[in-house]
């Protein structure tokens, strides 16, 4: 994989409901659903059962979902673009370019699920999540 861009839906505690809706409406296939306790066993109890990451397949495309543990969702900031790469260096290059004139929401850093993960809103107000896929 070089670079893949995927719509990422940030939900306000109702990701499971949205996943069921799009599964039926768009004839999507649910490929995976992980809770916050699945990806961060020491997470706060209040978010433990919420969706941290879900992947749906719609035709040849994918949709990503999660419940946001951060600030409440407002109309207009519910959808972001997720950029996946296979190289931390490529992820860093894209992140650095997007943050110029924009705002870093989460610094680019290593996480348990990615060697380079971050979130930035660019100069045009578009929010991007960047993730480097772990190599197998």
SS3 for 28? Answer: coil
Domain total in the chain: 2
Residue 79, domain member (yes or no): no
For residue 132, give both structure tokens: 């480097």
| pLDDT (tens digit per residue) in 35-68 | 999 999 999 999 999 999 999 998 899 999 999 8
For residue 89, give both structure tokens: 């260096």
The residues, any chain, with a CB within 8 Å of residue 79's CB and separated by 6 or more, are: 7, 8, 9, 10
The CATH number assigned to the domain holding 136 equals: 3.30.720.110
**Whole-number Å distance between alpha carbons of 64 and 33:** 10
Dihedral, CA atoms, 82, 111, 48, 127, nearest 10 degrees?
-30
For residue 17, give both structure tokens: 């409901």
Residue 69 sits in the same domain as residue 3? yes
Residue 1 sits in the same domain as residue 64? yes
Residue 51 sits in the same domain as residue 118? no
Residue 23 sits in the same domain as residue 90? no
Residue 58, domain member (yes or no): yes
Domain of residue 110: give its range: 86-136
Q: When comparing pLDDT for 5 and 36, which is higher?
A: 36
For residue 7, give both structure tokens: 């719509």
Reported confidence tier of residue 132, pLDDT bands at 50, 70, 90: very high
| pLDDT (tens digit per residue) in 108-123 | 999 988 999 999 988 8
SS3 for 4? Answer: strand
Residue 93 sits in the same domain as residue 48? no
Per 3-state DSSP, the chain is made up of helix, strand and coil in percentages (nearest 5) of: 20, 45, 35
């Amino acid at each position: 994989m070089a670079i893949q861009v995927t719509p990422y839906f940030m939900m306000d505690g109702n990701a499971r409901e949205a996943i069921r809706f799009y599964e039926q409406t768009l004839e999507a296939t649910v490929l995976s659903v992980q809770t916050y306790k699945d990806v961060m066993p020491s997470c706060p109890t209040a978010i433990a059962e919420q969706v941290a990451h879900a992947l749906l397949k719609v035709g040849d495309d994918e949709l990503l979902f999660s419940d946001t543990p951060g600030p409440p969702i407002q109309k207009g900031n519910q959808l972001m673009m997720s950029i996946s790469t296979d190289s931390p260096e490529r992820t860093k290059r894209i992140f650095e370019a997007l943050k110029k004139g924009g705002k870093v929401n989460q610094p680019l850093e290593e996480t348990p699920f990615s060697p380079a993960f971050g979130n930035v809103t660019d100069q045009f107000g578009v929010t991007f999540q960047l993730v480097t896929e772990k190599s197998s």
